[in-house]
Amino acid sequence: MIDVSTIYFVSSLALGVAAVAFAAMASRLPAVHRRYGLVTVVATGSMALAYLAMAGDVLAVETTGRDQSLARFLGYTVAFGGICYLIGVVSGCGRRRTLLLFGFTAVNLWVSLASWLLEGILETVATAVIFGGLLGVVYLLFGPIQRAAAARHGDRALLYGKLKYLLVLGWAILVTLSVASEQNLALLDTFAGQLVASYADVIIFLGFGGFVLRNATAFDAVTAESSPSSDDHAAVTRRPTQ
């Protein structure tokens, strides 16, 4: 049987190649859009490094008799932070809602790890918090952030829809795997759980980079809104006539 470390190494290689490809694509974007493209490079690259660390048993902690690497959760924090950031940019929902979305995401991540370290009632509470965090993410994406995005048009609204469903699908898969893992309900053994989780990660972050870089025109309106000339024009139009 294939060793789990081999799964990690192959996942790291796939994500690393994707990060290099995304970097090349981002470098060809207009300068005003390039920083948004580079977010996909950072997200995918952080997961590539996380899987490489996992293959080498770096930052491993024992959870219910099994080792789990903190590197995966550090990689997730950076990578999903990038997705949350671009969702906030594209939707125009504001900093507070963007930070709230990231907050729910971070809680889901680290409480998932905690649920593997806890036992009894505390483990049950942690599992409930995980599902509560997922509901918080869904509420924000289909509630306040969706309403902010509804005012956007064209490529911007289209990209928001793609990122929204990508984040929901990604979290639904990861939360399900967390609950079904050997550390919780034990519906999946270590090999099956890590194989499915690694495959899901590769698909999620390849999709993230592809969506953003193939829809870079969605950031035209974002750039126009934040440009000094547009602010000056808005100030002139608001200035009362003498």
Output phi, psi for 231, to 5 deg: -65, -40
What predicted TM-score, i.e. pTM, was given to this entire model? 0.84
Per-residue pLDDT at 66:
63
Residue ranges of the chain with pLDDT lower than 50? 227-242
In whole angstroms, what is the distance from residue 18 CA to residue 117 CA?
A: 33
Note the pLDDT of residue 19: 96
CA angle, corner 30, sides to 26 and 21, nearest 5?
15
CATH number (3.30.420.40, 2.140.10.30, 1.20.1070.10, 3.30.70.2740) of 4-220 reads 1.20.1070.10
Q: Where are the alpha helices (DSSP H) in the chain?
A: 4-27, 31-55, 70-91, 95-117, 121-142, 144-149, 155-180, 190-214, 220-226, 228-238
Would you state the structure tokens that stand for residue 62, as one six-digit string? Answer: 């024992």
pLDDT (0 to 100) of residue 232: 39
The residue assigned the tokens 């929902």 is 93
The C-alpha R_g of the chain, in whole angstroms, comes to 20
Q: Residues 6 or more apart from 118 whose CB is under 8 A from it?
A: 126
pLDDT value of residue 229: 40
